[in-house]
Every structure is written in structure tokens, then in C-alpha cells.
Chain A
Amino acid sequence: MPPKRKNDAAIKVEDVGMEIDVASDSGSEDEARRRAKNRRAKPQRKSKPVSDHEEDEEDEAPRKRVRKKKAKPQESDEEDEEDNRSVKRKRPKASRKKAKEESEEESEEDRDKRKKRGTAVSKKEKEKQNKEKMGNVKGKQGKNMGGENDKKKKNVKLSSSSSSSSSSSDSDEESLSEGEIAALKEQVEEKKKLIATLRNKPWRMKRRLVLLKEAQGFVEEFEGALGKGKGRKLYAFKVMMAKKLIKFKRDFENFKTACIPWERKIKDVESHFGSSVASYFIFLRWMYGLNMVLFGFMFGLVVLPEILMGLPYGSIPRKTVPREEQDTAMDFSVLSDFGGFCQYSFLFYGYYNSDRMIGVLKFRLPLSYLLVGVGIFGYSLMVVIRTMARNSNEGGDGADEGEFTFSWKMFTSWDYLIGNPETADNKYASITTSFKESIVDEQENQKDENIHLRRFLRVLANFLITCTLGGSGYLIYFVVKRSQDFAKMEQDKLSWLEKNEVEFVMSLLGLVCPPLFETIAELEDYHPRIALKWQLGRIFALFLGNLYTFLFALFDEVNEKLETEKSIRNATIWALEQYYANYSSHFNTTDVPPPNVSPADVIRGPCWENAVGIGFVKLVVSDIQVSYLTILVGDFLRAVIVRFLNYCWCWDLEAGFPSYGEFDISGNVLGLVFNQGMIWMGAFYAPGLVGLNILRLLSSMYYQCWAVMCCNVPHERVFKASRSNNFYMGLLLLVLFLSLLPVVYAIMTLSPSFDCGPFSGQERMYDVVMETIEQDLPSFLSNIFSYATNPGLILPAVLLMLLALYYLNAVSKGYQQANMDLKRKMKMARDEEKNRRNNKDSTNQVMKDLEDLLPNKSLIPPPIKEEPAPPDVVIAKGSKSPKIKPGAAAKGVNLQKDVSLAAPNPRAPVTFAPGPRRGPPGNARGPHPGPGRGRGRGGPPRRHES
């Protein structure tokens, strides 16, 4: 850069700086108003702003070129003019607020004026023309300031365009007829829509901001004018409320996102391990949210009422530890098995009293208990299905696998979340491998050398796995049976292992079997993705089998307990009768007081619900212990050993055999899903389980985050996260359904214990509902219910549902067919259009937007065809930092401000690369200083030599 220019420019800026600032400030407000006014008359204009801009630019170009010739002499005049104007406008540096107020005032005035439009039109028109001129002038000056020049340019463009069209439109505006109001309304709606969808538009932020401002101004201005006469106030009120509502919604949205926990933690994990590992943590978080709600239900509607309003501990037998257990009730070993005080606390079913109503609020606890128990399932089902539906919308619509193998790999395989060098390296490697695999596949299409051997191996593998599954099922059954025998023996004689055998064995199986399956699966030699599916399916089967065996064994136990309970019940009833008989014969009275026995001494039944609840809680706890221990030993200890023993070992531990652990996504997800299944099943018998689960998830979040960041390495083979979200959800749904079955079965068929729990004394649990319907609801409602439960009505209802199912199924098939047809048609149409188009002009909006996203044309040296421009044109446009080179900017504009502006927007097909590297051929007019250079940070990096 020649140094003298700097001086020159500095002076210029000193001279001009202030005025420009002022002028532009007040001017832009002015313009905004004007624009808003004019916009009313051009509805179609708004719909295609892009093309308009272009036109404007083209319109403007010649005009400016003409003007440019006398740019220099005019300069001072213009300045004067500007100065005057700014004086008129109540002085420079009017802060924005002030200007805005002003503009608002004026817009009101405008509105008034509009009413008595007839006379004012001509005057107004003149005014407008004046303004237009100024606008242009200003535009030129605006360019002096390197800073805001772009924006202003746009403003000018807009204003000039609007004013050019305004003269024709003004006459239309004179009277606001019905039709016009309707049109106006439509436009306002359109604007609103634009505001709402602005974020989805692929435009530059600047343009978006400008458009937003415009649209908002427009809406603001005309919304009020829409209502008429009486309706106006109401309308204004409505508009105001709508605005408030929007604001509130946004604030609420902000609040909601602020409430989402662990955003940063997950981001850390994500950037280290890619989206697949993070998807597990997101799933964990989702689960936490779900469980929080369940916890809210359980504690808010069941546990708290019972604690606050129910009878206190020790008042009735079910809330008291029996005499023979009281000595050991506080022992740690007993408590850790959830015996002793735990067993008779609010954590378990048995604690709850069967009074129909409790407390001053007359809270119907038994009813609430049943409804919450069922409601938990209902809510979970709803949430899971809703999430699945939402996820399925997001996923790609799934072309046939293999249609786009290479292009998908090319364009969608990089995980943009990765921010860790190691992961990135792994990703590079895995992408390379997958490409190579695909190439090999493509080249030979998998010739099977010995298909018989492979088949045999696969059958063998499946046989082995089936055996393992059966074996594990039997083992569990055996263990549960044995534990029942143990339970009958004296507790003191049993070792810890014998007491916790069931949980221990189940956890052990869960730990050992998956790796075993993986080893067996080696035999099969499937493609990794298919292998993964098999593996998941097998682990799923294992867990499920174990869980159900456990359940069946439990049901055996329950039935046994029901038998003993019956005898105990008979015994108690008999004892009571004896007592009554004795009492009445002894004191010779019929008014017998109840037997005075301490609640701790009352004979009581085994309370099978508590036993089931304890079983589930123990299972969950041991699951937690095992999984945490696995992490601690399998990941942390291993990492420590590998890290520190590596200094004195004969081979490289880090790269060689033990190496660091990888995060086992599928295993963890399945673990979480099954844990949730146990919670669902157990929550009915142990309300405290939900709370326990909350703690588990919470600690697990922190613990696993720590573990994964501290001792795991990124995957070498990256587990496909594709649609895995819905995959997890599908698993969850299945587990939910499977855990729903036993609970509902128990509620419907087993009779509750006679002396514990909220349903004691009822024949069936759901009798609570019946009772409520009969006693508390108005009689006609209970009538309706009795009709509704009539088999004669249920049968037709079921039939109807089946029919509806059939119908909907048929309809959905029809839709699918139509969908396919449409897709095919679309494809055909696309082909046709392409053939027709000859790559000449792009017709659709998206293409235009796309082109608009090309680097700003005006920042690039003009093609050689144009009249040779002085070198500083580009500088003027390009240098964005007036701080550093204000001079160049100012001068450049003064000399030659229009060429670059006049360069048409790249609407025409772009056949040359606009980038700097190809530059204008023969552009010997000196360097092309990009903004980067302007800042003295070295030129723009040119990386993409093609």
C-alpha cells in the first residue's frame, strides 16, 4: 500500500467521520420507516426477495455509474446536505433509542396522514423522491466507512427499490378497502410466518437480521391498523397478548434448555469419543428425566401422604418390627439385605395402611397406590412411544441399503462432533478401512470359498449359544429354588454367599455370558454390523430369560407363601374367636374390647409382596454393585496397570495385549434398559425403588463420565450410532411391555396379603377401584361403569377395535404405496427437470439461496471485461477494519466506489470459481487484499488448490 494514501484518508475521515455517522444513523431509521410503509404495496415482492435485490442492484448499477463520474465534486455538496439534514433531525449522535422514538412518533403521524391521504399524496411523493436521492447519496458515503458499509448498501438497495415501486403503489393505498385490509392482513401473516421461519432460511445472518427488522417493523406498524372500529381495541389486545405469549414461550424455552443437565459433560464425552458413545449418555440422561417424573408420582402421591398423614411407625403391626427380629433389626448385615427396619419402612409395600382415607384431606391412599402403580406404566409407555415417533421423523427415510454405499460414506461418515485428535485418527482409520472394505466387496462381491463349513459353524455357534442360554436359565431357577430352601433354614447358619446367591449368580451370568457370546460369534464370521445385531439380540435374550426365570421362581415362592398365609390367617382368626369367646364367657359381656397385644407381638403372615419387593431391590442393588465394580476393576484398574506397569514390562502393554478398555456401548445400554425393566416391575411392590434408581442414575452419570474420560480409549471400530436412538427406545418399549405383564398378572389374579399393604382385606387389588366407583361416585356413573364392564359390551368393543386395527392397517399400506409412487414420480420429475434445465438458470428458490451463499461477489475483483478499475476498488470493499486502514478505505471509495457494487450478484450460472486463487486473469493491478491481510495476519490461507 502506498503510504500517502493513508494520510489522505486519515484526513478524510477526520473531516467526514462525524457527519457520516450521524447521517447514516438517522438515515437508516428513516429508511426503515419508509421501507415499512412501502412494503405494503408489494406483496409479491416479499416472497422473492432475492430476485428483487438482484434487480435492484442491476437497476442501480448504471445510475451509479453515471453518478460516479461526478462523484468527486459532488462530495462536498452531499456532505452539506447531510449536515443540514442531521441538524434538522435534532442533532447528531441521536442515540438509537431516540431515533426510534422519533420514528415511532412519525409513523403514527403517517398513519394519521394516511387517513386524509387524498391531499397529501403529491407532497408525500415528492418527499419520497427526495429521500430516495438522499438514500443513494448516503449509500455512497456509507461506503466511506469501512465498517458498516455492507449493511448500508443493503439498506440503500432496499430503500431504493421500495421507493421506485412506491410511486405506483401510493395511489392504491389511498383508501383502505375491505380487500386491501384482507391483503394487508395476509401480508402481516406472511411476515409473521417469515419471522417464525427465518432461522430455517439458508441466508447470511446479516440478511436475516435485516429482513427480521423489516418484518418486525412491518408487523408492528400494521398490526394495529388492521382492526376496525369496535374490533380494533380487541384486536390490539389480542396482538399484545400474542406478543407476550411469544415472549413468554421463548423465556420458557430458554429456561428449559438451561435446566437440561450435563450438557457440558456430554459435550466433553462427545468430542472425545464421537457421537456413538455420547448417545449412551444422552440416553442415560433421558432415562434420568423419565425416572424423575416417575419418582415424582410415586413420592408425591403415595409415599409422602402416607408419611405425613398416615399412622406413625410402631402404631400397627405392619409398621412394626416383630418381636423376634427386633434385636437384629439395626444390624448392618440385616439392613444391607433390606431386612429389619428397612423391611417395615415406607420403602416397601407392606408399610402402607389399608384405611380408605387418611388425614384431613381424606386422601384415598389405596386407590392412589393402585393408580400410581398403573400410571407409571401408562406414563412410561406414552413417553417412550412419543419419543420413538419423534425420532423416527428425524431419521432419513431410508433408501435401500446399498443404493448409496459410497456416497454416504463420502458425505455422511465424518462425525462433526469429534474434537479429540486420537478419536479423529481412529475415525480416519475406520473410514479408510470401510472404504477399502467396500472396494473389496465391490470388486469380488464376496465369493464364498466353503459355504458348507461356514454354515456348519454358524449352526454350531447358534447351538452353543442356545445351550448357554438354557443353562443360565436353569442355573437361575435352581438357585432361586435353593434360596427358598435356605430361607426356611435359620439365617445365622447361612454364609453371605448362600444368602445372596440369586443376585450373585444373576450378576455373574450377566458379566460372563456376553463375552462368551462374542467369542462364540467369532465362529460365525458375520459382517461386523450383522454380528453386532446378533450379539445384541443374544444378550437381550439372556437378560430376558434370566429375568423371567427369576420371576417364575418368584411366583412359585409367592404361591407357597400364599398357602402359608392362608393357614396363618385361619390361625389368627381362630385365635381371635377363641379370645372373644373366652372374654365374653369370662366377663359375661358382649362388648368385647380388642385384644391388648403389642403390635410387635401380633402373629402375621409372610406378606409376599414385601418379599417380592425385597427381591427386586436386592437385584437392583447387586446390579449396581456389579456394574460399578466392573468399571472400577475392568476399566480403572486395568488402565492403571497398563499405564504404570508399562515402564517395566517386557512388551508394550498400551499397544499390545491388555491395552485400555473401550466403552461398551451396547452392553451399557442393555444394562440400563434391563435395570429400568426391573424398576418398572419392582416399583409396585417397593415404592422406594424409584428413589433408589434416581440415585443410581445420578451417580452413574458422574461415575461413568469420569470412567470413560479417564480410562477408556476411543473405539477402533466405531459402533454405528445410526438410528440407534430408536433402537434403544425399541428395546425399552419391549422391556416395558414384558415388565408390564407380570405386574398386571399379579394385580389381576393374586390376592393381596391379609395383613399388610394398602390392599389388605380385599379379595383382589383392583377391588379398590370398584369400591370407589360404587361408593364415592354418583350412582349414574357407577351404573355406566357396570354397563361398561358387562361382557356383552366388552365383546363388541373388542371386535370394533380389531376392525379398526384392520382398517388402519389397510390404510397405512395404501399410504405406503402412495408414498412409493410419489417418490418415484418425484425422481422422474427431477430427472426431467434436470434434462430440461441444461444447467442454465436455476429456477427454484433453494438454488438461488445456494448461490447467494457463495462468497460475496462484490468482495472479489471484477472480471476483466469491465472497464479497468483502479486498484483500490477492492481494497475499499475488502478492508473491513477501519481501525487499521481507514485511509485506504476512504480513499478507495472516493475514487471509485461503484464498480464492485455494481458487480451483479451471482445469479447467473456460476461457471468460474469466485475464489481468490483463480482471480481475474491478468489481474496485474496489484494484490488482492482480503480482509485477513488487512488485519496483518497473513493472507487468506489458500489451501484448496484444485
Chain B
Amino acid sequence: LPRFTETFIYLVLCEINFRKWVADMEAVAEDAEDGVREIDESETSIGNVPPSDNSLALRPEYGCNWVEITAEFFEASKELDLGELLHDELFGLFEAMSAIEMMDPKMDAGMMCNRGNKVLTFDKAIKAGVLKLNNFSMEELVGIMDCILGCLVTWLEGHSAAQTILTCLYLHKPLSIEDRALRAFCVLTLKLVALINNIVNIAGVYEEEDFQPGLYGYGVCAEVPEARAAAAVREVEEELQRVVKSTRGRQGEAWEPLMQKQHEDAVALFSRVRFLRLLYAALSAIMRRDQVSMQEAERCLASCTELVCIMQNTVGRGLRPKAHKDDDPNRGDYGHMMGFEPLVNQRLLPPTFPRYTRLRTRREALQYLDELVTRIRQCGKITHTHTFKQATEFLERFGELEPCVLSRSIAQVLYLGAGNGSGTGPDDKLWGGQSMADTLRSAAKQFICPPALMPKAAVLNNPQAKQYVDNFFMQCVRPFEQLMQMHGHNRARQRDKVTDLLREFASLQDEADEVDAFLHNVLLKSEQPRPHLAYLGTWVLHHTLRLMLHYLLTGFSLQLYAPHEYHYIYWYLYEFVFVWLVSALTRADALLPDQENMEQQQRAKSSRSTRHKNRKQRKTHRPYGKEIAFYQAQQHLCGGFYKAMVGLREAGKVRLPQQEFDDEKVRYHHRFLPFNVVVTPPPVSYHTFITMTDLSNFPQPVSPSALYHDARNHFFKAKTLLEGITNPNSEMQAILKIVKTNFVVMKLLEGGHKNEDPSPPKFDYTYHSCFPVIRV
């Protein structure tokens, strides 16, 4: 054997008894003959499934001249030095890391199947007489359905279908089930799986950790029309309803135990099949994306909430199989439940470590379904928003609850549409029927009233100007769609998306500024000369700033920043991000009433009698007053944190990393790196940070107390601003609490409290995921 450096023989075969391997292969061949891996076109994927009709050992074209070389092999390997490895050019150690050692139970997924009982497919299980298709007891039906729901929930939580729903044999050939209730339930379950898959795929806001759409080639009863599947379930429901009614206890009479049992069993079964039907109906209605369907969906979901309650109360009526002595607690009760075979798809999975997916228990599953229904009802409320701004804010607030991938997807599909991207169908319109371009036009108009967008705008007579404006809003479509989608992703992934979005918005900013400049020139030459500076520009800037804010704040909610980094993050927010936000809104705030008044005056000109009225109505109107106050409050909140952190650092209470490898300048630049693509506002260098925060700038002498004092003032200012806001929302109230507490803490520290105590403060994020209460 030729030698290679740095290698020694690790070909798997030499680690195991070669003879045993041959014997096992022959056993596999036998199984294959029996049809363990049935290749039924309607069922499984072709993929990596071995041929069913013969094994390698029996294939005539390969011959079966096995020659044992064990002795020669070990003899030859003696030529290699200790530590030398022999390997093929294309199969080095990197590849070997993800390879499996055949028959190593820790790595070879198939080995699990060879332990203990044989793995039975649907057909094998029927043949073996362990799978019923009819004559189920009520306990069996309820038990099976609850286990199916457990699999469904585990799948929805992001696990592979192969180890969840597709471990239920009844879902492999549901049309072969003879019992009407179970058959209808299984068919509709598969259709529900297909529907959910569709919704999540269309929305496109999932990553691998959220959801696995693969169904491994299994059928989902696509050939059964939706109406028929629902009707089948409905029939079962009605039958059960009759039983429920006829077995009810009668007043004054004793409720005969057998009748009571029948009643309660019927109730249990009824609630489950009805729940499934209504859940399906709700999702189906939601996908139709119209007002009437949304109402229908809400009715269905309200019923679902009630039904889950009944299901939870009757969960004990489901059959529980006897526990096995070698039961793996991770398998719950699925391993031995009739109709469930956890390993049935094991060979379809990639050769990684053989892990079970821990399936949700029945109670956990019902709890999840209850919460899921609530979430879906909640996300449906995006249809109550009227403006783009409201929709974005809705998604932001909804996202804070860290909702599941399905509810996030539903919100996306409802608002953005189920479009195929062609731009023509109704599905490409936003909720409410407008195109994205038109919606954005309205949004810009509502934000700052650019003269060019006002009705009867002079600029509309200039075809080139009109073209510019139309083109600009067309260009806005993609970035703003992506902005909505960003809010639909899971929180950790949102940050990555923001990085890309900042780039898009930077380009959009350029466009906006150019269009503004062009319109400015056009308008100045028009009959009613009017400036058009920084209207569209401010609108885009506002969104860019909110993205920057989101990026920095999610760093807190994801717990990415270390306390020794807080000071520069909060400083950036205090000195720059919030300042620019306030400035942008102030500009809009000033321009909006002006424009509106000019509009009214224009209209008034055409109807003289109302001229006096309009003059009186012209009041000092501050449309953004509340928002500006809130941003200013947050600005001072961050100012408070910044000063507090500097004070704590000066007092030696912030644990700093060892000097050897740490470099604050390098850290700073990496933390703010995504902002470098933004031109307006310009990035703030570390040098600027150091210059502006140099303690020699402050009135001397600077002691921690002086800094705590400054912090205290900031918190106080924030408090005043927040208290001035009428009808504060829950976030504002939470921040007010934080500000008040921190004010007190700063006062204590200023007074020398815990002066001698070097222990670092704790940061309590219970009230708000981004702004902590400082606890010393």
C-alpha cells in the first residue's frame, strides 16, 4: 500500500469484525426482500433509499465473490508509522468529521433500527396485526388524535417532519383507514400540514432554526379537495353531536355510568375533530385575504379557543400505552402508542447522530395550540391598520412578543400578500387593495406633506417631474417590502437583515435627495414658488434612523453587549441617533401644518365664504408632539445611562477586560460597522467618541459623584418629558418606572452609597428588554 504523510489507516472496516458486517448486510438484504423499505411511488421519495428488490449480495451483475482480506489488511497496515493516516485525495479529515462510522451506535442512525424490535411501516404493521384500521375504542381514538396533535406542535416548533408528524403511520396511508372519524381527522391533518407549509413558504420569514418545510416525498392528500375533506370531518362531528345530545344526563334522573362515559367520550372526540376543522377553516379563510373571510376566521378561532379548553379537560380520556422498562423519557409515550413508529423515517435522514426529537406531551401540545390560536387572532389584527406606518408599528410590537413562525408568517401574508411577484394579481396588493408604491406615496404624504404629492400640485403638470416622483416610489417598493419582512423574522435574524437594509436605504436616500432637488427647481419656477428641500429626503432619513435605532436596541434585547460596552452604545444613542430622530420629526412637525394650511387656503380661495372660518381654525398644531417628546425622553434616558456608566467606570465598578488582547477602538468600529454604509447621517468615528467624551471637557474636578449627578439630571429630564405625555402607552409607562428608579439610584450613589463596595452593579431588564434598572 502506498504511503501518505500524516495519516494512518482509519478505514472503518478494519475497526469492526468484518464477518459480522457481512452477516448484518445479509440481514438487511432479507429485510429488503420482505419489503421493509417499500418503494411505493405514491409514498416515499426516491432519494437515498436502497433498492428494495435485491441486495448487493444477490445482484447478479455484481457477482458474489466475497474475498476476505482481514489478515492481509492488518498485515499491510503495519507498514504505517504510528500517527500516519491513509486516505483518498477527496476524503480527508474534514470529510471524515461528518462521516459516519458504520455500525457505531452513536453515529450510525440505522443501528438504532437494528436494536430491539423491528421498525414497522404501515403495511408491515397491518400484516403483523399491530395496526388497527377499524373498531377503535374511544380511548384509542382520543389517544391517537392527541398524539398526532403533539407531533404537529413539535413540527411547528421547528423540528423535522420526519421525526414528528411523519412518525404517525396513520398519516402515511390515511385513505386506507376504515374508521370514519380517524380517517377524516388524518386526511385533514395532512391538508393542514400542506396549508401551513404553504403559508410559511410564501411569507419567507423563516430560517432553518424556525421551521423545516421538507416532507420527504410523503403525500399530503393533495388529491382530496378541501371541501370534501372538511365535509368528511363535519359528518363525523354531526354524528358525535347526536351522541352527545342523546347521552346527556336528564334532570331529576340519575346519570347512568355507561351513558355518562359515552357522553364524555363523545365530547372528547367531538372537540378534537371540530377543533381541527375550524383551525383549518380559519387558516384557509385568512389566506383569502378579504374582510369577510377575516371575520369568518375570527369566528372559527374564537371557537377553537373554547374547544381547546374542552380538549384539555378531556386529555385524560386518551389511551396511554403501558410504559416499557427501557423507555427513553425523551420519547414520551409515542414509541409504543399504536400507529406511531419513531424510527420509521430514520433512514431518510442525513447520517448525523441519531437523535430523537423530543415530542411534546399531550398537555404541552394543547397548551401550545391554545397559545397559537391566541397569537393568530392577534396577528390578524394587522388588518385593522390603515397606514403603512401603523402596519410597521404593529409588526414591531407584535415582534416583541417573539411569536412563532406561523403567526409571523400569517401577519406577513395578510399585509404584503401571497403574491407571485408578477405585480398584476390581487395577491400583489397590500391589505386594503393598494399597491405598495401607492401606499408609500400616502405614507410620505402623511409624514411630511411634500408639495409635489399634494392634490393639484403644480408639479403634476410637468411630465418629467411626475415621472421622477413615480419612479422614486417604484424604487421604494423593494426596500420597504424588505423592511416589513425584516420585522417578520425571528429577533436574532432581524439584526442581519437590518445590515442589508441600511445599504438599501442609503441608496434610496441619494435618490430622494436628487428628486427633492429636481422638484425644488421645478417648483421655484412655477406659478406659486415653493421650496421642496428635504421632503422626501427627510422621510427616507426617518426610516434609516429607525433602522439604526432598531439595530442598536436589539443588541440589548438579545443580550449582546457587555457592561463595559454600554457607555459607547448609549452615548451613540444619546448624542446622535435620538438627536437626529428628533430633528427629522421636528422638521416634519413644522412642515406638516404649513402644508396643510396652504392646502386649506387653496381650497378656501375657491370658496370665499369659508375663508374666515379657515383663518380661525389655523391653530398651532403639533402632529408629532407626542412622538418627539418620547424620543427626547429616550434620548435623556440614554444620556443618563451613558453618564452613569462613565461614573461607574471611574469608580472602578465596571469589570473591564484584561488589556492584553482587548482594544476598545477596534471593538467600537466593529460594533458600529453596519452604519458605515449610511451617508446621512455620517458615521461617528472612535476618535470623535474619544474627543467628545474626554473627561477634561467636563467641569473639573470630575469625580464619579459629578457624573452620577449628571446622570440623575438626565433621568429627571426624561421623567418630566414622559409625565407630560397624555395617554402614555405601556412602553412609555415602563420606561417611566425605569427612569424614576434610576434617578433614585443615582442620587444614592452620588451621596456616597456603597462607595467602598467594589462589586459591579446589576442590570435588570425586567421592565424593558433594552433599558435596564441599575441595581447596586
Does A pair with B? no
Residues of A within 8 A of B (CB): none
Residues of B within 8 A of A (CB): none
